[in-house]
Amino acid sequence: MTDVKDSVLVVEDEPQLRRFIRAALDANGYRVLEASRASEVVALITSHNPALVLLDLGLPDGDGIDLTRALREWTTVPIVVLSARGREEDKVAALDAGADDYLTKPFGMNELLARMRVALRHRPSADEPTVERAYTFGDLVIDIVRREVRLGEDELHLTPIEYKLLLLLARNAGRVLTHQQILKDVWGPAYATRTHYVRVHMAELRKKIERDPARPKLIVTEPGVGYRLRDAR
Amino acid sequence: MTDVKDSVLVVEDEPQLRRFIRAALDANGYRVLEASRASEVVALITSHNPALVLLDLGLPDGDGIDLTRALREWTTVPIVVLSARGREEDKVAALDAGADDYLTKPFGMNELLARMRVALRHRPSADEPTVERAYTFGDLVIDIVRREVRLGEDELHLTPIEYKLLLLLARNAGRVLTHQQILKDVWGPAYATRTHYVRVHMAELRKKIERDPARPKLIVTEPGVGYRLRDAR
DNA sequence: AGCGATCTTGATGGGATCTTGATGCGCGAG
DNA sequence: CTCGCGCATCAAGATCCCATCAAGATCGCT
């Protein structure tokens, strides 16, 4: 239960309540960002990209509902509103402005945490970094989602190290990677001197992905420097 | 405000409240389905595919929280819980079981409508509420709604862990799942180190679903990484 | 309380993978 | 021409990872 979870931006001007919330979130493994004014919120979201925003409506320098509406112009980050106002119109206004939930003070911390979990699980698919799903080099295809490598029709079986190596090369296709960089990325910073590892495993990798391993077309050696994956384009 | 919106399944045993809700939803352009017992819910969702479920927790024939958890096995349709119980533990339990919102009776109809709008706009894609009722891999069929697994003609009996394992693999068919991911999903985040559990139970599962458990065709091991359910691409 | 089913945990052996050292080749510098 | 350096290849041993078995603990039901 000690793993680091997502970061949460707490926007609350009352210092006591802010401390209280921070303590509870800390205890539950969230990283906490704090803001006490509406004017700070945009900058903090863009710079830290929190997974969720807890927004007090009663801020001194601006209306929280307007802020919510403004945020919704450009971000889908979940917004859970905390408010002393419990009137139904206030709730409807905040929710329709784009808030994902609305809690009336005083609220129980367990309920807040549960509602935060709801808001967080709502968006795992929403805007995942959606990076590259697959790389293609000639008839070599690296499907990252499936962790699968194919050469033309047949599927290749790569060992963990070989796969890591290939992925590193693919992500930096065209660029030369030094032995140091490769060692650091695949084996970890402590192995920076074991140049030999790279050679042995690069040879294994070539045996599998090169048509003619003796005359590599894909993985080219840059003597004295490192290796490079040729991107044919 | 007269266009036909999505349909909403109202699960509520009190006739008066049901009529009241129906009237409000009608007036707001929703199509309304009604149920008064937990046992009808699964059939109505599968047959009518509503866009949202309003679920009263105090049903005569079954616990609404268990029902929520069961539904979450196979559908992501938004569930908004209505309950006379306002204790914090009740809310937390329902939300963690998979409900998307929780309103304590008596509630204002405008708030309910606003929270329904929130739940509806959360839906991943406007159309299908992502219902996957059964998975098929070769002659292995996993019927999620009935929680039943068949291999060709004969039904298999899977233990809870085996079933969870298989479902996890099926939902991620083709993708490699790391031991970590499996442990987190099946046993919970605290068990991330118990790699051995996965091996033992994966072996049991293979004994049951593989024609030749020694030469697995369906569940393939990715050494050093995890397991993968092969999907016939 | 008792029973059967299921889960946890340890032990073991085999196989895949990695590490490590030895060897040979090619190329450029001296 | 020869030496030295970096690279490729090979192979053996060490290590890691996986499958399997089995015993004890626990769970769930009657």
pLDDT digits (tens, 9 = 90+) for A108-136: 999 999 999 999 998 754 334 334 578 99
pTM reported for the whole predicted model: 0.75
B221 → chain A, closest CA residue: A157
Q: Could you tell me where the beta strands, DSSP code E, fall in B84-232?
A: 101-104, 134-137, 140-143, 148-151, 154-156, 176-178, 219-222, 226-229
pLDDT at residue B134 in the model = 86
User: Which 58-117 residues of chain B touch chain A by CB within 8 A?
Assistant: 88-89, 91-92, 95-96, 99-101, 108, 110-111, 113-115, 117
- A88 and B95 within 8 Å at the Cβ level: the answer is no
Q: Kindly state the helix (H) or strand (E) to which residue B73 belongs, with its residue range.
A: none
**Residue B233 pLDDT level (bands cut at 50, 70, 90):** low
Alpha carbon distances (Å) from B212 to A114, B82, B161, B218:
45, 50, 21, 10
Q: Would you give the distance in Å from CA A161 to the centre of its chain?
A: 23
Which one has a higher pLDDT value, B1 or B73? B73
| A37/B contact by beta carbon, under 8 A | no
Q: Which residue from B1, B47, B49, B51 is spatially nearest to B24, judged by alpha carbons? A: B1
pLDDT at B126 over 70: no
Average pLDDT over residues B109-118: 97
SS3 helix, strand, coil % of chain A, rounded to 5?
Answer: 40, 20, 40
- B110 and A89 within 8 Å at the Cβ level: the answer is yes
Long-range pairs of A151-159 with CB within 8 A, sequence gap ≥ 24:
A151/A208, A151/A209, A156/A208, A156/A209, A158/A205, A158/A208, A159/A204, A159/B223, A159/B224
Min mean pLDDT across A209-213, B24-28, B196-200 is at A209-213
Strand partners, A38: none
pLDDT at residue A137 in the model = 92
CA distance A61 to A79: 18
Q: What are A51-86's pLDDT values in tens digits? A: 999 999 989 888 999 999 999 989 999 999 999 999
pLDDT at A205 over 90: yes
Report CA(B189)–C1'(C18) in Å, whole number: 30
User: Which 169-208 residues of chain B touch chain A by CB within 8 A?
Assistant: 174-176, 189-190, 192
Q: Would you give the distance in Å from CA B152 to the centre of its chain?
A: 25
In the Cβ-directed half-sphere of B156, how many Cα atoms lie within 13 Å? 23
pLDDT at residue A127 in the model = 38
Question: For A1, which of B99, B113, B190 is closest by C-beta distance?
Answer: B190
Contact present, A220 and A169 (Cβ < 8 Å): no
Single-letter code of the amino acid located at B216: P
Mean per-residue pLDDT of chain B: 90
Residue numbers in B near A95 (CB within 8 A)? 114-115, 117-118
**Residue A5 pLDDT level (bands cut at 50, 70, 90):** low
CA distance A61 to A32: 22
Average pLDDT over residues A180-206: 93
pLDDT at residue B62 in the model = 81
A114 → chain B, closest CA residue: B92
B134's torsion region: left (phi>0), alpha (psi -120 to 50) or beta? beta
pLDDT at residue B1 in the model = 46
pLDDT at residue B3 in the model = 52
